[in-house]
Amino acid sequence: MGLPPPSAEDPMPYAAVNGLEMYHEVHGEGPPLLLLHGGSGSIIEPWILPFSSSYQVIAVEQMGHGRTADDPSRPFHYHDMAEDTLGLMDHLGVQRAVVVGHSDGGIIGLDLAIHHPERVDRLVATGANARTDGYTAENLGWIHDFDPAELPVSAAYARLSPDGPEHWPIFVARLKRMWSEEPDLTDAELATIKAPTLLIVGDADIVTVEHTVDMFRTIPNARLCVVPQAGHGAMPFETVLAFLRTTDPVSSITGAAGLDQPTA
Report how far residue 130's alpha carbon sits from residue 84's, in angstroms, rounded to the nearest whole number: 19
Query: By percentage, how much of the chain surpasses pLDDT 90?
Result: 89
Pairwise CA distance, residues 94 & 116, whole Å: 13
- What does the alpha-carbon distance between residue 118 and residue 130 come to, in Å, rounded to a whole number? 21
Q: Of 211, 210, 236, nearest to 225 (Cα)?
A: 236
pLDDT on residue 8: 38
pLDDT tens per residue, range 158-175: 999 999 999 999 999 999
Question: Residue 147 pLDDT more than 60?
Answer: yes
Asked whether the predicted pLDDT for residue 149 surpasses 60, the reply is yes
**Model pTM score:** 0.92
Query: From residue 62, how far is each of 36, 80, 90, 150, 224 by CA, in Å?
Result: 8, 10, 15, 23, 27
DSSP reduced 3-state for 54 = coil
Provide the residue ranges of all domains of the chain, joining segments of one domain with +: 14-247
Its CATH architecture, for the domain 14-247, is 3-Layer(aba) Sandwich (3.40)
C-alpha distances out from residue 169 to 81, 140, 207, 209, Å: 20, 19, 24, 31
Q: Can you tell me the mean pLDDT for 59-83? A: 98
Q: How confident is the model at residue 12 (pLDDT cuts 50, 70, 90)?
A: low
* Model pLDDT, residue 249: 87
Residue 212: pLDDT over 80: yes
